[in-house]
Structure 1
């Protein structure tokens, strides 16, 4: 490589979560949470409880909610449907630019999310969606491992050459189980301190730091 050449991407494939990672959906989630709790019979959240809840792991949150695991897909579908109707969720500032820069640097991109394809299409738009070689929607919170492996397989990449970038401890668990690195973002649903306990391979304090994935 000569001095004028660009550095190679640090990974062959970067797989992104959506909510709390690319899309700023947490305010919408909080606004809707108690309405869904009353409808589906799980525990409501008081405003003063939010900081402590953000410091919990995904499994701790599920235990605290009292929502049976078998009901989770029903609630998730209700949430994504309401998001589609609300049309108020936007990307974090700089997220679109970061995705463009990573793709331009030669890094392959994929998306694995619990959200629905209509929400992904609306929030990202066709230009950003076209940057992703694979988009996998509707994953259960604790069922992303198989989706991550499928993304790697579809794009012809070994798991050890991939990183999953997310904002939840369940994302970290899925990446580890899939044999991939985990990249933790500090601006999502979970506190940086809680994510640090998962020993991520990468930490991103600000959206622009995602550019480090390009090498």
Structure 2
């Protein structure tokens, strides 16, 4: 088996939080002074990179920590509306029984939200749950996990749903797998940084060289 450490993103990868994000986005825009979005614009934004979305919304980088904190607080009040993708829950449980794979999670969301959405059973499957990273600053968290687990970057895979995740994996020197069911559509991922494309959860089995 090639990968020894498999690291998952949370929002849009394990948790189906995009509908909630779209619902609260314009409220965040009015509160924090960036451009509101019409429903018709959402598909095009999903085809854009993370940084391009911020530019299109006239969203300065310095506002990111404050807006992210507000979004996490709103989610915390509506956790019952953010489910885990059922097929991903099944996959995580199956991987938990593979002794030669360690699972980790790196997310920009709050630990409290991650634990509440996943539930105790799934959270305990992960060897590490690293939360609170900046959306554009996950690479140091990924490198820290490599060092902690004594795994080379060639033996690690990061699975996420935004171009910023692909950039973080590249900065950490590890392979990246893009999921097709998250915040961004597959067209938004730079092909040069994307080793795998997962159209459904069971596609991840093939990347891990483990037959479903």
Task: Name the TM tier (shorter chain).
Answer: over 0.9
Structure 1 CA distance, aligned partners of 2:116 and 2:205? 24
Structure 2 Cα separation of the partners of residues 122 and 198 of structure 1 = 35
Partners of 2:179 and 2:7 in 1: CA distance: 13
2:198 to 204, 207, 210: 204
| Deviations, residues 25-52 of structure 1 (Å, cap 9, x unaligned) | 0000000000000000011100000010
The worse-fitting range, judged by mean Cα deviation, of 186-195 and 162-171 is 186-195
Q: CA deviation at 1:214?
A: 5.3
Where 1:24 maps in the other structure, the secondary structure is coil
Instruction: Please state whether the residue corresponding to 2:146 is helix, strand or coil.
Output: helix
Secondary structure of the residue aligned to 1:188 is coil
Question: Is 2:28 the partner of 1:28?
Answer: no
Q: Give the C-alpha shift of residue 63 in structure 1.
A: 0.9
- 1:195 is displaced (CA, Å) by 2.0
Would you identify which runs of 4 or more consecutive aligned residues in structure 1 move more than 4 Å?
none
Gap runs ≥5 in structure 1 = 1-7
* Pairing 1:103–2:103 present: no
Aligned-partner Cα distance in 1 for 2:136–2:54: 11
User: What are structure 2's unaligned runs of at least 5 residues?
Assistant: none
Once the two structures are superposed, residues 186-207 of structure 1 have per-residue CA deviations (whole angstroms, 9 ceiling, x without a partner) of 1111111222534411111102
1:121-167 CA-partner distances (Å, limit 9, x unpaired): 10111111111111111111110110101112222212221010001
Report the Cα distance in structure 2 between the residues aligned to 1:162 and 1:69, rounded to whole angstroms.
29
Q: Select the residue among 139, 151, 170 that pairs with 1:145.
A: 139
Aligned residue in 2 for 1:177 = 171
> In structure 1, how many angstroms separate the alpha carbons of the residues matched to 2:149 and 2:23?
37
Structure-1-length-normalised TM-score: 0.93
